[in-house]
Structure 1
Amino acid sequence: MKNYRDFDTEDFVWDINFRIWVLSPNREVNAFWEKWLEENPDKTAQVDKAKSIIQALVIKNVAFENEEVDELVSQTIAKIDENANSTTKKIKLFYTKQNQWLKIAALIVLIIGVSISYQQIFHHSIQPKGVYEKYVAASTNQLIEVKNENDIALPIQLIDGSLVLLKKGSRISYSKDFVGNTREIYLSGEAFFEVTKNPEKPFLVYANGLVTKVLGTSFTIRAYDKEKEVTVEVKTGKVSVFAQSDARVEEKATSRELKGVVLTPNQKIVYAREEVRMDKLLVELPTITIKKNIKPQFEFEDTPVSEVLQTLEKAYSINIVFDEELLSNCPLTASLTDLQLFDKLDIICKGVEARYEILDGQIVIYSKGCK
């Protein structure tokens, strides 16, 4: 664990865990920093200043090499000099010997009206080597790479019995024997995974800054290099996801438990790479998750709405939040068998003058009860 007591304002600005807290907070990260500030109240001023800088400049989760920083600062200053004669604004640039305040230089570029954007500057600096290539290059294992350039999905059987359906224009790299305590896959593109269960050896997929961890389940990952978002959709079982930049990434990856944001069937995560933000949602068309030989009944006659919602909750493995006591006195007669989940919900809510929202991967029903 880092010793944040020794951090100054600039250190906080560039710390990945701190930026995640500012730009994309979650319950776990909030708890850590709130507790740390309680224990270190004298650092509040520095923390507030660092937060203000990050929020003002929208610092992205990018790890720069020293040479990249120096080059980019030089480019930025040169751009300022180039445009200095065309502006009447007076700008002061504070740039101390070790303080590589690249973001302040970028802000100055915006102030004087330079046409090049902040995101374009960074895009140029991080593109030469893709995330997938960096993962593969950093691996200590001998990897096999498979590419699919055909129009149909390419099935790949792994040594542990797991199946990968690799979509067109995608590629994966993996160790033939899965040596070590984990089963690691590196993905660029899109693939469906059906993973053989082995709690003793977690299955990890690294894809464009997002790590997906499973013990045994099926899911789809979409992670193309040119797209700003990575999406994980769960079909069966559970998966956990966390950012590669997470300060506890190694602990979460090697643990036998699912740590991070946990997804269940019909849930998905959308990871905004540049903003280090995760949104937990439901898939567009949720499917029934109970066994195929058990056909759920969606024919209701004077059935309390509370029971109807419980039937949907069980059939789709989706948590539905509602006031059971309030809706137990609301009867519903409807045939919902051939409808998609959201169509079912529309009819139910219309029948009892209620409405629903999707919040954090679950359905929340709002109702005042029956008249």
Structure 2
Amino acid sequence: MHSSSSNLLQALLTNPDFIAWSNGDRPEDDVKWNKWAGDDLEKQETIAIAREVLESFQVAGPNMTDEHVTSKVSQALNTAKRIESEQNSRSISPFRRLNFTVWNVAATLVTLLGLALAIFGIYKNGHFKLDLKNNVSKIDDADTFTEVTNQDQAVKYVRLSDGSAIVLHKNSSIRFPKQFSGPVREVFLTGDAFFEITKNPEQPFFVYANELVAKVHGTSFSIKAGQSDSKVIVAVKTGKVSVFSKNDLKADQYKKDKALQALVLTPNQQATLERSQFKLSRLALSSPILLNIPIENQDFTFSETPVKDVFEALEKAYGIHIDFNRETLAQCSITATLGDEPLENKLKWICTILEAEYAVREDKITIKGNPCNNYSPEP
């Protein structure tokens, strides 16, 4: 299956809005999905396939048995296989250029769905909800959301529109809106990352990482959430973080209430979610180091520190290059405690001390300032 088609199919099959529309629950969304597909043959074909696979996986309700789940999985697999067979038998098809091979991806998806239902008894427990947001691929306008992946760097700096900073570990990705709007800020993590969140109690910040949801107002913490890991772990460096399972019966309440609730973590505390059981536990730590990256044990306290050393510390911690004129700023030094503020807040304070300016472009920060012969006192 062509990679873009596979991603598109997976996104549709895990999109709550699409599933509801496909099941006939939202006829008012006909215009929305027809407009989304437009004249794009790939999208039209993928919608048709996704609807047929979902139709074959209709469930009977909260009292369904494991045998019924198994039957539905088998039915969905047969549907996927038949679709592939029909496509292969077409002599002339406008979709032939899509290189669509449905079997592998569709079989994998419905098998995982079946296993999840059988193992966790979601339907039998009567609290399966399609409207709870989670960290699955979703169909969104590319102009609205951004996804950043760190494939080869030890750490990679990611800036959010509210000024929050994310230090993304190697082989990890983060998905987030280009601009935060509405009552909450939400991002979706796959892998490991360190967060420094801009304080805003009126607009809580949510991180969705596998089955775990972390809710914060403004603080710094690490999350370890590899796709194949059996656990999701959160370690708090500063501030407070509230964590809960997305399967929690009170998940919607935790989201809507602006106050921190659920399991609250304070500095040097760690929470672990056992993914197979949705079980959360809390542990006290001697230090908040979880990912073994520099920023976790850096307190950003400087005393008459040459500015080049300050910038080198920031480069190492955030995985971003800082370009400045070493000759011009050679005599400058910094005395300050910058703490857990996001990188841009640190830059603003440093540039205020140096009477300089900064600009952030992709993976580089440029500092422009005038010579100085002394340092500013600690604030």
TM interval, short-chain normalised:
0.3 to 0.5
The TM-score, its normalising length taken from structure 2, stands at 0.43
The TM-score, its normalising length taken from structure 1, stands at 0.44
